[in-house]
Amino acid sequence: MVSNLFITFEGPDGAGKTSALKDIVQRLEQHNIDFLATREPGGIRIAENIREVILNPAYQEMDAHTEALLYAAARSQHFYEKIVPALQSGKHVLCDRFIDSSLAYQGFARALGVDEVLSINEFAIGKRMPDLTIFFDLQPQIGLARIQANRSDEINRLDAESLVFHEKVYAGYEEVLRRYPERIRIVDASKSLDEVTEDVWKILKEVIV
């Protein structure tokens, strides 16, 4: 029997993390698995309020340092208020985005430095990293096309960035994959949602079901 795990979903915008997590939640419920599903930035009211500030498309003047610190602040509150208690109570935790998003988006794509962003995050949450990260691998232009095709989805300040920015985010994730190969599993997110969900489920079944 495995102990409970802290699992994160990562990948470019539009890769299908949120959609797959919804389907995975249903399967976990059917299997009577004790879990908490949550998301970043957000998950609790203080962090949802910080999310409103970070992602508001009107705030074009936001400095990259401010952005990185706001993500770290939202993460800190979410981590100590929601994730840690859930893990302590024996639940598996599944989180849509976590620290790797900050390393890829702020550290690499915003060029603040992956080590610098890692260090503000260590201040925010200590050295606890996820036990398992599922990386939704998708070329950024496909993710952006998916978001554009479904305009009813919220288009936030980061979605609205250029393709060049999103290509840097992808390169940032490649750097994250190089740094943490032992905890990251890759799924091909260009497949249909059903196939992607199935691939994620196969990985989860190995560790928690």
Ligand X SMILES: Cc1cn([C@H]2C[C@H](O)[C@@H](COP(=O)(O)OP(=O)(O)O)O2)c(=O)[nH]c1=O
Distance, in Å, from the CA atom of 57 to the CA atom of 55, rounded to the nearest integer, reads: 6
Q: Does 139 bind ligand X (CB under 6 A)?
A: no
Neighbour count for residue 198 (Cβ, 10 Å): 15
CA dihedral over 129, 192, 51, 35, signed as positive or negative? negative
Q: Does 193 bind ligand ADP (CB under 6 A)?
A: yes
If the CB atoms of residues 159 and 175 are measured against ligand ADP, the closer one turns out to be 159
Mention every residue, 6+ apart, whose C-beta is less than 8 A from residue 71: 40, 41, 54, 101, 102, 106
Q: Does 15 bind ligand ADP (CB under 6 A)?
A: yes
Structure tokens, 74? 């939202």
Span 53-72, contacts to ligand ADP by CB under 6 A: none
CB of 11 to ligand ADP, least distance (A): 6
Q: Is 197 annotated as a binding residue?
A: no
Distance, in Å, from the CA atom of 83 to the CA atom of 174, rounded to the nearest integer, reads: 26
Q: Which residues bind ligand ADP (CB under 6 A)?
A: 11, 13-19, 146-147, 150, 153, 192-193, 196
Q: Which residues bind ligand X (CB under 6 A)?
A: 13, 17-18, 40-41, 55, 71, 96-97, 101-102, 105-106, 154, 156, 158-159
